[in-house]
Structure 1
Amino acid sequence: MAGNEENGAWVAEAAATTEASGKSFGKKCSHVAKKQRAKFYILRRCIAMLVCWHERNDT
């Protein structure tokens, strides 16, 4: 399975970079997770705004 090989390479690369940078893997993961949550929050708000604006113009 090619996906597992790619994931394994990514994990090995991430482990090598965490050792070099001094940040733990968990901290990097939590930082990425926070960024993703923020992006999804903004996207959700934009979609809600567009839906409400569209409904308002229909009436």
Structure 2
Amino acid sequence: MGEIADKVKGAANETIGKVKRAIGDATDRPDLRAEGDAQEAKGDLQKAKGAVKGAINRI
């Protein structure tokens, strides 16, 4: 995947993770909250991967 695709997928996963975490908090479901935290972390890593690819392409 390219830089922009990684950043977009990362942002999407981060947003979905935040929503899952909020729903988990609202419904008192720690399993859903943990799933949201994990998905948000995955999104952060994808965005970082895209940033690294962008930096490499600029060299």
TM-score by length of 1: 0.52
User: Following TM superposition, where does structure 1 have runs of at least 4 consecutive aligned residues deviating by more than 3 angstroms?
Assistant: none
Query: What's the CA shift for 1:24?
Result: 1.1
Count of residues paired in the alignment = 36
Q: Which runs of 5+ in 1 are unaligned?
A: 1-17, 55-59
Q: CA RMSD in A?
A: 2.0
Largest Rg, 1 or 2: 1
- TM-score computed with the length of structure 2 as normaliser: 0.52
- Pick 1 or 2: higher relative contact order, CA cutoff 8 A, min separation 6: 2
Identity of aligned residues (%): 3
